[in-house]
Structure formats: structure tokens, C-alpha cells
Amino acid sequence: MKVQINGKEEEIDREEVTVSELLVIKDIEMPDMVSIELNGTILDKGRYDITVVKSGDVLEFLYFMGGGSACGI
């Protein structure tokens, strides 16, 4: 399926994945320190395991620690 992550179209080799699985697939560093917006809605971290990402979805990964920029928050 194709999804858009941070403005770029990306191919994921699955029909659908949970947000937690997507964090692993994309090898996201410091997943605890990333805020995820799915189709314009900020997700609760507690729902990453049950929220399913489907083809055509638009995701924004926003880091707010580490690099230190909170500009995206």
C-alpha cells in the first residue's frame, strides 16, 4: 500500500498495519519521543497498537525531543 509520511509518498509492503507496526517498519528512532498525526488527527500513544493505517493515509511524524526542535508541536 502507499501512504504519505511527512509529505513523501512511501510504499509499505503490507495491506494494512497498526501504527505500532509502522514505527518498527520505518525503524523510527526514539519512538517514545515522536508525536504522530494520522489524517490530521493527533493520535494518543495508547492507541498505537489498535489504530490501523490504510492505503492513502497521510501521516506526520513529529519529533519533539532529541534534536530538540519543538517547532512542529
Partner 1 sequence: MEFETKAVHAGFNKDKVTGATALPIHTSASFAYDSAQDLADVFAGRKYGYIYSRIANPTVSAVEKRINSLEDGVGAILTSSGMSAIATVVFTLTRQGDEIVSSRSLFGGTLLFFKDVIEKYGVKVKYVDAKDVDAYRTGINDKTKLVFLETLGNPKLDIPDIERIGGICRENNVPLVVDGTLTTPYLFDAKKFGVSIIIHSTTKYITGNGTAIGGVLVDLGNYDWAGSKVPDIRELSKRARQAAFLVAARNQIASNIGVSPSPFNAYLINLGIETLALRMKEHCNNALELALWLKSHSQVKEVNYPGLEDHADHETVNKQFDGRASGLLTLRLGSKAECFNLIDKLNMVKNLANLGDAKTLILHPGSTIYHECSDEEKEGAGVTDDLLRVSVGIENIKDIIADFEQAFRT
What does the binding site for partner 1 look like in residue numbers (CB under 8 A)?
Answer: 6-7, 28-30, 32-35, 42, 44-45, 60-73
Residue with Cβ nearer partner 1 (15 or 40): 40
Nearest alpha-carbon partner for 45 in 32, 63, 30, 61: 32
Minimum distance of partner 1 from residue 54's CB (angstroms): 22
Residue with Cβ nearer partner 1 (11 or 68): 68
Minimum distance of partner 1 from residue 48's CB (angstroms): 12
